[in-house]
A and B are shown apart, each in its own frame.
Chain A
């Protein structure tokens, strides 16, 4: 791929910001990034932003890029508001890299903020947005329940158990204890039994199998390679990318567990000239505990059915053979609604840039980030490295 880097990242601490709109949070991110990064508005000539207000129920602003252009005082030659749900963020890196390779821009600000309704109020409304209005929504669709439909097939065909799912939450909590920004940083370690004893939400998911509704957001700066080397001690090089959109609703034809990650992962590895064994650390979007396991299998890090043994053996834990979701995951760090995938991307960037503090893995020469949108409909795989 072209000589493109991620030169900087910035993220708000996930939490509850009841007095701030999605747009307010974007302003906080811009202010914070401009103070933290060695660049000013005049250096930024590209802008990608997610529509604010999606999961917050306040209406969707599809013209938010124009407001940011005006408020930042930038005059980009490449700018748009785009959305593919949780998949948007590695996708932004790819769209920015294409614009840079095409000479359209040199430094692209990719930014997102998210609000999140309470789970009891938001699960239904959010499910309605991504359900077929006549043939799915009347049956009482609910976000955890839709993921549970996927998980049931995964468990049935691959022999994965509720204890395997629970072990994902145990691992992610271990990581959150090492991340002062994680919602569950001070909450202490948990055991499989704690997850199994938490209240049922939608079989096979109990409360501790679910991500934590939060608010926040962040930004990354995607740049021409020479600018990345100037602005960062260790930029994250964009080595490979893959993307696939094989279904658009949960009751579309085909297996729910042969997700688009099979295709996007194979493409990303091919473009990077790498294989799964070359990856040191992975960030795998985890709205619920089943999804990192399914993605480990779909991305070929383990054989089909092998993800349970991998997680039970501590493979994704601190010190594991391939650390996964090293910031605590959406399950213990927090799921910032529309901006959730930004957290996943930023942790991938921080590990490769060597900026992950206490949770920095010993070896992070190459990191993989996989995010999906909808109910695992849109899939994007991004491979980052310390050398081009």
Chain B
């Protein structure tokens, strides 16, 4: 998997990647207004508070948007095509991007139920999704 883009571990993202290393998909939470959102903010996008927590998700969600990529954006992805690129709405109500793995990409569609799995990518365990029952 060399050459694929690798997320950066820094003070803002460390807790998220510590979670994925433990097999846990985490969301940022706002301790002031209870909003939930993706991790890479130092403040709450709803109320602006910097008092933030983090909680584990169920790791389950539904595909809301999808495509199957046939042309690799980088040479490093050439062996992967065709691959499914999707947006998943987590059951906790937050949307995130991922690939759908462990299935025929042509079987992916809107409304598909999926569950998180993890791909070793450089120094991190990258959340991915696979079909769930």
The chain A residues found within 8 Å of chain B, CB to CB, are: 119-120, 123-124, 127-128, 132-142, 144-145, 148-153, 156, 199-204, 250-253, 256
Residue of A139, A202, A251 near B99 (CB, 8 A) is: A139
Q: Which residue of B lies closest to A204 (CB)?
A: B67
Q: Smallest CB–CB gap between A224 and chain B, Å?
A: 42
Given contacts A133-B8, A138-B126, A140-B73, contact A145 B67 (CB under 8 A): yes
Number of interface residues of B (CB under 8 A): 36
Residues in chain A near residue B38, CB distance under 8 A: 135, 251
Asked if B66 and A138 sit within 8 Å, CB to CB, the answer is no
- Also in contact, A132 and B73, with CB within 8 A (given A139-B85, A202-B68, A253-B95): no
Beta-carbon contacts of B78-98 to A below 8 Å, as 1s and 0s?
Answer: 001011011100000011111
The answer to the question of B43 belonging to the interface, with a C-beta cut-off of 8 Å to chain A, is no
A243 to chain B, nearest CB (A): 21
Whole-angstrom CA separation of A136 from B87 in the bound complex: 10
Choose from A127, A149, A253 the contact partner of B65 (Cβ within 8 Å).
Answer: A149
Contact in complex: A135, B40 (CB < 8 Å): yes
- What's the Cα separation between A127 and B110 when bound, in Å? 23
- In the complex, chain B residues whose CB is within 8 Å of the CB of A251: 38, 87, 95-97
New A-B contacts (20) at CB < 8 Å, excluding given A133-B7, A251-B96, A253-B95: A119-B71, A123-B73, A128-B5, A134-B13, A135-B7, A138-B4, A138-B126, A139-B98, A140-B74, A141-B97, A148-B66, A149-B65, A149-B66, A150-B65, A153-B65, A202-B85, A203-B70, A250-B87, A250-B97, A252-B95
- Smallest CB separation, B133 vs chain A (Å): 22
Query: Are B95 and A124 interface neighbours, CB within 8 A?
Result: no
Q: Give Cα A250–Cα B39 distance, bound, in whole angstroms.
A: 16
User: Which of B7, B85, B94 meets A140, CB within 8 Å?
Assistant: B85
Which of B5, B6, B7, B97 is packed against the most chain A CB atoms within 10 Å? B97
Please report the C-alpha to C-alpha distance between residue A256 and residue B70 in the assembled complex, in whole angstroms: 22
CB of A202 within 8 A of CB of B70, answer yes
B45 to chain A, nearest CB (A): 9
Q: Check: B53 CB closer than 8 A to any chain A CB.
A: no
With A132-B40, A251-B38: A138-B5 Cβ-Cβ less than 8 Å: yes
| Closest residue of A by beta carbon distance from B65 | A149
Please, which residue of chain A has its CB at the minimum distance from the CB of B106?
A203
Within 8 Å CB of A135, what residues of B? 7, 38-40, 96-97
Point out the residues of chain B lying under 8 angstroms from A149, CB to CB. 65-67, 85-87
Residues of A within 8 A of B126 (CB): 138
Between A and B, 9 residue pairs with Cβ closer than 8 Å are A138-B6, A139-B98, A140-B77, A144-B71, A148-B85, A202-B69, A203-B70, A204-B67, A250-B87
Q: Which residue of B lies closest to A156 (CB)?
A: B110
Nearest B-chain residue to A254, judged by Cβ: B95
Task: Evaluate contact between B87 and A120: CB separation under 8 angstroms.
Answer: no
Q: Is the CB of A137 within 8 A of B110?
A: no
Known: A135-B38, A142-B73, A251-B95. A256 touches B5 (CB 8 A): no
Chain A positions within 8 Å of B13 at CB level: 134
Residue of B nearest to A206 (CB): B70
Q: Report whether A138 and B69 are in contact in the complex, using a CB–CB cutoff of 8 Å.
A: no
Within the assembled complex, what's the spacing in Å between the Cα atoms of A256 and B96? 13
Nearest residue in B to A119 (C-beta to C-beta)? B71
Nearest B residue (CB) for A154: B65
Shortest CB-to-CB span from A152 to chain B, Å, is: 5
The answer to whether B74 and A124 have CB atoms under 8 Å apart is yes
Find out whether the CB atom of B85 lies under 8 angstroms from the CB atom of A141.
yes
- Give B131 Cβ to nearest chain A Cβ, in Å: 17
The answer, among B40, B80, B86, for a CB contact under 8 Å with A134, is: B40
Report whether A134 and B8 are in contact in the complex, using a CB–CB cutoff of 8 Å.
Answer: yes
In the complex, the chain B residue whose C-beta lies closest to that of A134 is: B7
Given A134-B7, A134-B13, A250-B97, A142 contacting B71 (CB threshold 8 A): yes
